[in-house]
Amino acid sequence: MAIILGGSLLSCNNASDASAEKKNKDMGEIIGKVNPIIDDNILSPEVLYSFGRVGDVVVSPDKSRFIYQITYVSISENKTNSELFVMKSDGTAKKQLTITNNRESSPTWLNNGQKIAFLGNETGSSQIWSMNPDGGGMTQISNIDGGINGFSFSPDGKKVLFLKDVKSVETAPDRYTDLPEASGRIVDDLMYKHWDHWVESIPHPFIADLNGSSLSNILDIMEGQPYESPLAPFGGMEQLAWSPDSKTIAYTSRKKTGKEYAVSTNSDIYFYNIETGETINMTDGMMGYDINPQFSPDGSLLAWQSMERDGYEADKNRLFIMNLSTGEKTYITEEFDNNTDSYIWGEDNKTIYMLSSVAGTSQIYHIDISTKEIKKLTEGKHNYVSLSLGGEGFIATRQSMSQPSEIYSVDINSGESTELSFENSHILNQIQMGEVEERWIETTDNKQMLTWVVYPPNFDSTKKYPALLYCQGGPQSTLDQYWSYRWNPQMMAANGYIVVAPNRRGVPGFGSEWLEQISGDYGGQNMRDYLSAIDAIAKEPFIDETRLGATGASYGGFSVYWLAGNHNNRFKAFFSHAGIFNTEAQYLETEELFFANWDMGGPFWDKSNAVAQNTYANSPHRFVDKWNTPIMISHGEYDYRILASQGMMAFNAAQLKGIPSRMLIYPDENHWITKPQNGILFQREFFRWFDEWLK
């Protein structure tokens, strides 16, 4: 049965139809699958926000089924909603398990597949709930003040490990009890803010006994410690792990505070013994990020991801294994000159399967841990983004520049894949996507650079098109076959632009030398790489070289500001989001100072530091005297990585110089644009600006 609710299509075969209808009547309109109106078979912002977004995929213990999460968007209500589904590993028997507006997430299997546990917020805070595999019998398990952020059950099913925020600073009302409404923050050390929030609490791991449908004997395993675990703000349950015998918890923590925390990436893997309460640092002496521990199925080995150098957050992500009997550590991916993006153990304790982005696509790799031999299992113009053992091989999620994430089964021997979810086929079947072409372009230093070129739908080579140079952020972030709900090349192409996206210096997937060249060279070779790409493509007869634009966010926004003063009249319009305009101000404004110290070379007042002085000499604000091209700027005021003042400075400079300019400021957004209506606004203003100057 299907119920149409204000344009939302919901499958109600998880429980009785009468029960589902009653729940829908009680809840009002449920945010669910949408059948958008599609004009001329072309992607639009409204269509983009109609895609169901595939989230967590968790395979059952017997590998015959998997639960997965889909997030839906309501533009009119300006919010999202996540629901849970179950499906057999062969793609049959799909069933929707939840129908609420309460956002269900983090599903897992309980009692050897007899129950499903998940996070739900029906009571106003995220708590652990359980239900039958058919969606019935929902029961709340936890009732933790303030809610929890994630959880996992011990292999023996007797305990639960969960994450909860704990207070980390004394507030003004704490100090002065007669001033309960005082909002001033008293700051004595660094890292008082992080990404988009003021740091007044940190995550801690807790354990509790699971007694039927309730928790007891709750214990903070880092009680009294002013350190976070997992690493804020993006770390989750992947940074903690149960040993197979349920006696040990491995957790990730950077046991530093204040200035020491702000300038270091040195996190470690700790073992907590449940029986004794003893904690041991297992990676002491390893100086970079050590994260994401996983025990081998037999519990004899520990794998984790490790970076070598303290302070370098984009260092090579290596895969290490430790023999827990001897303590011997082995660098498994030493001969592999690219990152371990994620990994899982094989069932034989001898094999690891890894995802890695190499040369513009993310594929599945097989690692023999005894020989360190690494074999690529899959091919294709796409990215694998998650991986589990299931069915006869893998259950994986996959995406590309032309398709949002969907769930696939992948043959473990041949690498052949079969789509299972088809969550967005009702939209994709109506959309004509542009061709995505792989080009290799020669750079100024005679290297070959992969550049993605995305063509408009119904491309006609006899016509002249405007083109947009897309500048990747990071600066050391992959530019592979990703799908984005904001920086979407197909969306740009659908509006009549040819998109040129170069994997310039600093982009992962092309070896360590290519990756690391950008550090300390802002405004250097990577900028010449951008210009090499746009110059090469602009020579094509179907591109109008008098109608070129450039755009990007974060480091891509920096790139746009820098190009605005150094492009020699190549471009006719710019759009920069959340970009660095003044590197001297950025050094003192940002929060993770390890990033600025490594990439910029250090503080601007160190006149003896040639690398740092080169960085600040290449700050975009030093080239404003050469600005002569229309520019639009957007920024979020909750962005504490790159403060909104950076965008305001750039806009003010353009205005004072009389350059056509526009600014889009979000008082309620961070480094990204997360609210649906703000996202639609971003897309509309983006194209209104470029259409005004390039068409």
Residues, the chain = 695
Query: Looking at residues 492-497, what average pLDDT do you find?
Result: 98
455 occurs within a structural domain: yes
Query: Which string of b and e fits 641-665 if b means at least 16 CB within 10 Å?
Result: bbbbbbbbbbbebbeeeebebbbbe
Task: Give the residue among 261, 270, 268, 269 at the shortest CA–CA distance from 311.
Answer: 261
78 occurs within a structural domain: yes
What confidence tens digit (pLDDT) does each residue in 60-82 have?
A: 999 999 999 999 999 999 999 99
| Averaged confidence pLDDT in the chain | 94
- Catalytic pick from 315, 341, 599, 639? 639
255 occurs within a structural domain: no
Contact (CB, 8 A) for 71 and 101 = no
28 pLDDT above the threshold of 70: no
Tokens of 396: 């994986």
| 581 three-state secondary structure | coil
Phi, psi of 21 (to 5 degrees): -65, -40
Distances in Å between the alpha carbon of 390 and those of 88, 315, 422? 10, 32, 18
Tokens of 516: 């690391």
Residue 585 domain boundaries: 432-694
15 pLDDT above the threshold of 90: no
Calpha distance 98→269 (Å, rounded): 36
Position 63, amino acid = K
Q: How far is CA 249 from the centre of its chain?
A: 25
| 638 three-state secondary structure | coil
Query: Looking at residues 169-186, what average pLDDT do you find?
Result: 97
Going by pLDDT thresholds of 50, 70 and 90, the confidence category of residue 392 is confident
Tokens of 1: 């049965």
Q: What percentage of the chain exceeds 70 in pLDDT?
A: 96
Specify the CATH number for the domain of residue 614.
Answer: 3.40.50.1820
Query: Looking at residues 90-116, what average pLDDT do you find?
Result: 95
Which residues have a Cβ under 8 Å from the Cβ of 348 and sit 6 or more positions away?
none
Looking at 134, 157, 189, the residue that finishes a domain is 134
Calpha distance 354→342 (Å, rounded): 6
For the chain, the domain total comes to 2
Query: Looking at residues 132-161, what average pLDDT do you find?
Result: 96
| 374 three-state secondary structure | strand
- Catalytic pick from 402, 554, 559, 619? 554
Going by pLDDT thresholds of 50, 70 and 90, the confidence category of residue 123 is confident
What confidence tens digit (pLDDT) does each residue in 189-214 have?
A: 999 999 999 999 999 999 999 998 89
- Give residue 29's pLDDT: 73
Element (H, E) at 270: strand 268-273
The β-bridge relationship of strands 268-273 and 279-281 is: antiparallel
Query: Looking at residues 550-564, what average pLDDT do you find?
Result: 98
The β-bridge relationship of strands 139-140 and 150-153 is: unpaired
Per-residue three-class SS string for 125-177: CCEEEEECCCCCCCEECCCCCCCCCEEEECCCCCEEEEEEEEECCCCHHHHCC
Contacts from 54-57 at CB under 8 Å and sequence distance 24+?
54/397, 54/404, 54/405, 54/406, 54/407, 54/421, 54/423, 55/82, 55/105, 56/105, 56/106, 56/107, 57/386, 57/388, 57/395, 57/397, 57/407
Phi, psi of 390 (to 5 degrees): -175, 155
Which residues sit opposite 419 in a β-bridge? 408
Query: Looking at residues 316-327, what average pLDDT do you find?
Result: 98
Query: Which string of b and e fits 492-517 if b means at least 16 CB within 10 Å?
Result: bbbbbbbbbbbbbbbbbbbeeebbbb
310 occurs within a structural domain: no
Looking at 84, 112, 134, the residue that finishes a domain is 134
Position 483, amino acid = W
- Catalytic pick from 567, 577, 621, 671? 671
32 pLDDT above the threshold of 50: yes
pTM of the model: 0.94
Q: What percentage of the chain exceeds 90 in pLDDT?
A: 94
339 occurs within a structural domain: no
Calpha distance 631→653 (Å, rounded): 11
- Give residue 97's pLDDT: 97
- Give residue 122's pLDDT: 86
1 pLDDT above the threshold of 80: no
Q: Which residue's entry shows tokens 């602009």?
A: 538
Distances in Å between the alpha carbon of 461 and those of 279, 437, 496, 498? 65, 14, 13, 11
Burial of residue 17 (CB within 10 Å: 0-12, 13-18, 19+) is exposed
Calpha distance 315→515 (Å, rounded): 9
Which residues sit opposite 523 in a β-bridge? none
146 pLDDT above the threshold of 50: yes
176 occurs within a structural domain: no
13 pLDDT above the threshold of 50: no
- Give residue 299's pLDDT: 98
> Which DSSP state fits 433?
P
Calpha distance 352→659 (Å, rounded): 55
Contact (CB, 8 A) for 467 and 534 = yes
Q: Is the dihedral of CA 322, 325, 327, 330 positive or negative?
A: negative
Integer Rg of the chain from CA? 26
User: Known catalytic residue: 577?
Assistant: no
What confidence tens digit (pLDDT) does each residue in 342-365 have?
A: 999 999 999 999 999 999 999 999
Looking at 80, 103, 134, the residue that finishes a domain is 134
Position 337, amino acid = D
Per-residue three-class SS string for 247-264: CEEEEEECCCCHHHHHCC
447 occurs within a structural domain: yes
Position 423, amino acid = E
- Give residue 8's pLDDT: 33
What confidence tens digit (pLDDT) does each residue in 223-238 have?
A: 999 999 999 999 999 9
User: Known catalytic residue: 671?
Assistant: yes
- Give residue 20's pLDDT: 38
Burial of residue 439 (CB within 10 Å: 0-12, 13-18, 19+) is middle
Contact (CB, 8 A) for 6 and 20 = no
560 pLDDT above the threshold of 50: yes
- Give residue 16's pLDDT: 32
What confidence tens digit (pLDDT) does each residue in 84-100 have?
A: 999 999 999 999 999 99
User: Known catalytic residue: 554?
Assistant: yes
169 occurs within a structural domain: no
Strands (E), 274-317: 279-281, 290-295, 301-306
